[in-house]
Structure 1
């Protein structure tokens, strides 16, 4: 009986199993053929395995779902300040649609009469306008996650977008023409809707700039307004005043170029102590922050910001937009964090408010400080934002000579009486020092006068 030997144990990398190759008393040529065959099979298996890796990567990339162009607020932000992301008076689009019959019903009931008035003002057939909108409704659906609009068929989605679009354009038309009586709204609602639509239009402009969508507002505007020769000249100007202003604001907040990040560790009141003062800048762009140095002092120029009850929701919605769209630059987030670094308490707000940088319609200065501290506590800014300003501020703050001059100025020259007291003390000190010096080092006495000449001898 021939003896069986275990020639080798091979581990298959594909199935991770040990194969025992049994060598019998076979001719040498046959064993060589088997070895070559095994090597060839192993190479084929390896090629198939490597090819499957690349094929799966390609398939995953091709099958990866596209992110929505109008995304929802990220869960992390929504969980921290959920009330800031809920509409106060009006809902536009499918998000928050169930609230239209409850908390938002007051304005929701105005959409139909405002749409009717908008169509009548344009003088176009409503069937024609609606049929044109239906042609692009499938493209409009692609701007949202499909899971968020499963409750809408194409007809329901088109009706919702038609009413919302007509409402926005009619509202802008009445506001720009100061025709407020046609809105049938209270002054409070008009102001609130104006601010909300301003922020929404800012989002739409950035989407249009980046992705060139078929904008429903542009379609409705072109069908109803631009088709009338009598309004071709006036309407674009009327409607453009709002939108072009928003475009300009969005362009202003984009930084020019990224650089290495710097950090700011001192609040406004502490910067004032080292000779760094504040003044409002000439524009309202969030990135228009500059530092103007001088020999001993420095000035930080900041845009003026009005703070009221709508400021926090507006800023946080802009932050949510930046995060959900994965922008390379985060101008609004960086601005909030920069202001948070300047504001620790009410004294910092008082300093900025006294310089005209903050206009406080919210309440106390401490409420404004809490607003920025709450918003900035969970945000991560773009570290390259405000690099030049932060670098110059830190350089001024760390200068021993400039700190000494600033502290001296605040101690002895902060008021006319303090200056007079300092001047009197300086003069008194100088006189005292002079007296002490001459007491220790008296001036040399003048030499005695020469004796008088002797009298002439008598004759």
Structure 2
């Protein structure tokens, strides 16, 4: 009996449950705070690149611009793969890839393997959401095909050879825009790996830089010039475009201005204060400056072309700058906000056109003004970017003792010094006035004949 009782006791033991006290909500809160503190204390890698990810929701809330973030012709990468409207482009990808492989001097297996061997690193270039539904094998195939076809598309576009693939002009135009959408990016490392295996590596790198430079509307720099200057390889083509458009950062210490309240509202008010517009010598977005010459001032702005591609280009650059893991100076966002502060009406756009700062391929000046007013909505610029320029403009506009003189002299300058003929007419009028005065003097006071 005792043995049976002991056996029964042993059999009962496993059925007993040990109660572990649950972690309280307060303890979870404190644990999360501690983990966050430890993450912040970890040194950040200077070479880390932001992930390729979705456009931030706060930008997608603007329904008018949602179309600017979606590819219209070609889907590149995992986010929009198999998108219905991009199926036509899928038919061209194999032909483009075949051409690239043939001219690379390598076998398809060799190029595929270099992507396969680096798939873990390449996968890490994307936000987890982008690759969650893809196996490594499928993702390798996707990046291989998109990488080869993208490189060949760029090369053929710059050499005017896309007609041989029977790709229509409208498809080419839309595809060119699609290559610079945030959600449509390939890791630049994919392009590098494929270029390094190609016999045309140097040529491919040159045409990429030229392709980006042309997209950036660099009218003042010839194609085939120096490479785009970057301290380290870009994350993707969109970052390369941003670097080219912004130019090198201004490392000179800017003079601080205490009063940053903006008293002027648009270009018309600057014009009334004797401020004239002129194109800056370079076409980088950071190249904005102001020079005051007493009664007149000159605001230099980088030349810009406004066409159908401007909206998608600038809005995707803004979206990239707003990515939470991208530490940057909001250079493009600040430029758009600065230009938006100058443009209220069609007359402001007209003044930019007359000064040679803006070329309007969009339509009416009203459309351009509306576009800038819309894309500048709810953007948060870097207050330090154009601090010096804002300060100088304010000093010029708000100097009370010369306000009336400035307006009068500016109008005088505008009316009488627009052309050599106007200057000659003014000098002639002054000469006639002077001779008339002398004649009047001698008529009233004839010389003595003693």
TM-score normalized with structure 1 length: 0.71
Conserved 8 A contact 1:136-1:214: no
Distance 1:327 1:257 in 2: 21
2:405 corresponds to:
405
1:290 corresponds to:
289
1:78 equivalenced with 2:60 (yes/no): yes
Q: CA RMSD in A?
A: 3.8
1:314 corresponds to:
313
1:232 to partner: Cα distance: 5.7
- Seen in structure 2, the aligned counterparts of structure 1 residues 311 and 361 have a Cα distance that, compared at 3 Å, is same
Question: For 1:166-223, what per-residue CA distance to the aligned partner results, in whole angstroms no more than 9, with x for missing partners?
Answer: 111101221233323334312233233334435779988xxxxxxxx88111011112
Conserved 8 A contact 2:155-2:208: yes
1:86 to partner: Cα distance: 1.0
1:92 corresponds to:
76
Distance 2:384 2:253 in 1: 5
Q: Which has the higher contact order (CA 8 A, sep 6+)?
A: 2
- Seen in structure 2, the aligned counterparts of structure 1 residues 411 and 139 have a Cα distance that, compared at 3 Å, is closer
- Seen in structure 2, the aligned counterparts of structure 1 residues 426 and 378 have a Cα distance that, compared at 3 Å, is farther
2:96 corresponds to:
114
Distance 1:304 1:116 in 2: 39
> Within 5 Å, which residues of 2 pair with 1:192-207?
192-197=174-179
> Within 5 Å, which residues of 2 pair with 1:272-421?
272-324=271-323, 325-412=325-412, 414-415=415-416, 416=422
1:292 to partner: Cα distance: 1.7
Distance 1:372 1:348 in 2: 11
Distance 2:378 2:409 in 1: 38
Which one of 192, 211, 215 corresponds to residue 218 of structure 1?
192
1:164 to partner: Cα distance: 1.0
1:128 equivalenced with 2:110 (yes/no): yes
SS at match of 2:299: strand
Aligned residues: 374
1:167 equivalenced with 2:149 (yes/no): yes
* Rg (Cα) greater in structure: 1
Structure 1: 5+ residue runs without aligned partners?
1-49, 205-212, 450-459
- Seen in structure 2, the aligned counterparts of structure 1 residues 184 and 86 have a Cα distance that, compared at 3 Å, is same
Structure 2: 5+ residue runs without aligned partners?
1-25, 41-47, 213-226, 229-239, 417-421
2:4 corresponds to:
none
Distance 1:68 1:410 in 2: 49
1:424 to partner: Cα distance: 10
- Seen in structure 2, the aligned counterparts of structure 1 residues 328 and 121 have a Cα distance that, compared at 3 Å, is closer
Distance 2:147 2:293 in 1: 53
Distance 2:97 2:272 in 1: 58
TM-score normalized with structure 2 length: 0.72
2:140 corresponds to:
158
Question: For 1:223-255, what per-residue CA distance to the aligned partner results, in whole angstroms no more than 9, with x for missing partners?
Answer: 2x1xx3xx4665544445446345761561634
> 402-411 or 315-324, which moves further after superposition?
402-411
